[in-house]
A and B are shown apart, each in its own frame.
Chain A
Amino acid sequence: MLRSPRPYLGFLGIGTFFLAWYVLVDATHFWRFRELPGFVSSVREWVNPNPVYGISLFTSDYYLHIWSSLYRVFGAFAVATLLGTTIGILMGWSRIFCGLTFPILELLRPIPILAWIPLAIILLPGRELPIIGLTFLAAFFVTILNTLLGVRSIDPVYFRAARSLGFSELGILAHVIVPGALPYIFVGLQIAMGACWFSLVAAEIASGQAGLGYEVWQAYYYVQFETMVIIMATLGFLGYVSSALVRLVARRLMRWRTRALAGV
């Protein structure tokens, strides 16, 4: 697991970043940085009970946007995980199924998510479903591919051992294939979570009526730069927390791995 070896170094890094922002924008108006919202005014807006542009920690609109985005991401992520791992495991399990589906996967996967936007809007009804659909799609392909790689990565000796010990095919699926593929599956889910946030914002910009991606674009459009920065920071924070959640679940489900890696 990736962890900063010394936590205080992390805080020092973040502090330096904010300081640089302050120096370049607020203090020196250096070059084109002078166009950007200042550090102080952004923070002030964020904690203002009566924000100038209507979005701060004290407004219900802020939480409405967060909620809209969160449920889209987690809905899409959940469906992508369920479908993606199932299909990936089936592909790893059955040569025939893999032969059928792998070429399609390899053709569809490289299509950038932005190119799917028009099709999603045409195909899916309403404004909500296209966004969720696009968010889902980004995570879906990554999850399938990593699950398949995970199944393929399992040392054949475990299959031999299981057969020798009299496991049924279902037993092999449950006790060899799924747990054996889990490390790769979780690598895939980490990437998928990032992909979800990426395509969410793109989809919300294109078709949303609420949500963080929608709001960041609105703020830009109406020259409410402080709001824009607040939303960006919020996206960063939520992205970090959701990745951390995936890691937490991974550690829970793969205790054997964390413990072995810890070294004995």
Chain B
Amino acid sequence: MEARTRSGSLSIRNVGKVYNPGGAKVVALEDISVEIRAGSFCVFVGPSGCGKTTLLNTVAGFDTVTAGEIYLDNVLLSAPEHAPQPGSDRIVVFQNGSLFPWKTVLWNAVCGPVQQGRMKYAEAAAHARELLARVGLKGIEAQYPGELSGGMKRRVEIVRALINEPKILLLDEPFRALDALTKSVVQEYLLELYDLVPRTVFFITHDVEEAVFLADTVIVMTTRPGRILKILNVDMERPRTHRILTSERFLAIENEIRAAIHDEARKAFEAGERELAA
């Protein structure tokens, strides 16, 4: 728990993203600057369509920026003339899940290091079994993802990401489709894994409570064009359990974010109404 990782610092500097620069411009991101410490848990909150996923995609290497630079451990990752490639140092856990349904749980869990040629299957399998057991998933290795519940799938997917020992873990609203009870369980498992090996986490959600519960730093974004509205530090002790949800400190931070985000949510809603009316 003491061994804070030193690699995995992410520096996002004046990043902008404009879609369709020729025709009707859509500004998805505007002048985003944020420094993410190595090993810190960062949660981006904002209304739908605020460009959170776009920002994540530029870090993951699925999308390019049209202004600014992104550095990972002081190495240029992305710039307008420097298109990034996806890589196993920045693993993504997707919104709707991306476990390969035609492969067993174990195959899914080990496929990163095995496909990269870094580990033999047996070696990776032993490691994966250990991680799976740690998130309460013992004895499901031979099953297929289609046989698992939503919460189990998300945990397998997080294990699949972590086994690569990425510098940064990118989670794009991973718990969105889960019911409230399952969600709280999976959140605690995620924190347990995080406390075990703290590595940089870039987490997207529009659930404020989830943001505060998980984060070291919460970054509140505005609606289109996506800008940073507020950066808050959640100075609450780890390990955390759901008992802190009712603590005064927790509620104070949560309310501060809610107040900031409420206006943005209204703007996003009204913009949506205008688009529908037009």
Among A157, A163, A168, A180, point to the contact of B102 (Cβ < 8 A).
Answer: A180
Interface: A126 (CB within 8 A):
no
B94-108 contact mask (Cβ, 8 Å, vs A): 1 or 0? 101010111110000
A222 to B138, alpha carbons, bound, how many Å? Answer: 71
Interface secondary structure of A, over-half rule: helix
A164 surroundings in chain B (CB, below 8 A):
60-61, 86-88, 90-92
Q: Does B247 contact A (CB under 8 A)?
A: no
Interface presence of A11 (CB below 8 A) = no
Whether B115 and A256, one on each chain, are in contact in the complex, defined by CB atoms closer than 8 angstroms, is no
Could you list some 24 contacts between A and B, CB below 8 A? A160-B60, A160-B92, A163-B61, A164-B86, A164-B92, A165-B111, A165-B164, A166-B87, A166-B112, A171-B115, A175-B100, A176-B100, A179-B103, A180-B102, A256-B102, A256-B104, A257-B146, A259-B147, A260-B101, A260-B144, A260-B146, A261-B146, A264-B147, A264-B148
Cβ of B160 and Cβ of A165 under 8 Å apart?
A: yes
Q: How many residues of B contact A (CB 8 A)?
A: 29
Classify chain A: how many residues form its interface, as a range.
Answer: 20 to 34
Cα(A179)–Cα(B160), bound, Å: 19
The residue from B85, B98, B147, B148 contacting A157, defined by CB atoms under 8 A apart: B98
Complex CA distance for A160 and B90, rounded to whole angstroms: 12
Q: Is B62 an interface residue (CB 8 A)?
A: yes
| Nearest 4 interchain pairs by C-beta | A260-B146, A166-B88, A161-B98, A179-B102
**CB of B109, distance to nearest CB on chain A (Å):** 11
Find chain B residues with CB under 8 A from A254 CB: 102
Interface check A98, CB cutoff 8 A: no
When distances are taken between beta carbons in the complex, the residues of chain B under 8 Å from A166 are 87-88, 112, 115-116, 164
Q: Which residues of A contact B88 (CB under 8 A)?
A: 164-166
Could you tell me the distance between the alpha carbons of A264 and B116 in the complex, rounded to whole angstroms? 33
Q: Which residues of B contact A260 (CB under 8 A)?
A: 101, 144-147
Give 1 or 0 for each of A176-188: 1 = CB within 8 Å of chain B CB: 1001101000000
Interface SS of B by simple majority: loop
Contacts of B87 in A (CB 8 A): 164, 166
Name the contact of A256 in the complex, choosing from B61, B85, B96, B103 (C-beta under 8 A). B103
Interface check A255, CB cutoff 8 A: yes
A92: shortest Cβ distance to chain B, in Å? 16
Which of B86, B98, B146 is within 8 Å of A158, CB to CB? Answer: B98
Contact indicator B86/A163 (Cβ below 8 Å): yes
Is A167 an interface position by the 8 A CB rule? yes
Q: How far is the CA of A261 from the CA of B148 in the complex (A)?
A: 12
User: Are B96 and A167 closer than 8 Å at their CB atoms?
Assistant: no
**A161 cross-chain contacts in B, Cβ below 8 A:** 92, 94, 98, 100
Shortest Cβ gap from B183 to chain A (Å):
20
Q: Which residue of A lies closest to B91 (CB)?
A: A164
Whether the Cβ atoms of B91 and A255 lie closer than 8 Å is: no
Q: Which residues of A contact B148 (CB under 8 A)?
A: 264
Q: Evaluate contact between B103 and A160: CB separation under 8 angstroms.
A: no
CA distance A162 to B88 in the complex (A): 9
Expressed in whole angstroms, the minimum distance between the Cβ of B205 and any Cβ of chain A is: 19
Q: Could you tell me which residues of chain A, from 138 to 158, have a CB within 8 Å of some CB in chain B? A: 155, 157-158
Residues of B within 8 A of A165 (CB): 88, 91, 111-112, 115-116, 160, 164
Q: A179-B103, A256-B146 are contacts. A160–B62 as well, Cβ < 8 Å? A: yes
Shortest Cβ gap from B143 to chain A (Å): 8
Nearest CB on A from B17, distance (A): 18
In the assembled complex, how far is the CB of residue B50 from the closest CB belonging to chain A, in whole angstroms? 21
- B98 and A259 contact, CB distance less than 8 A: no
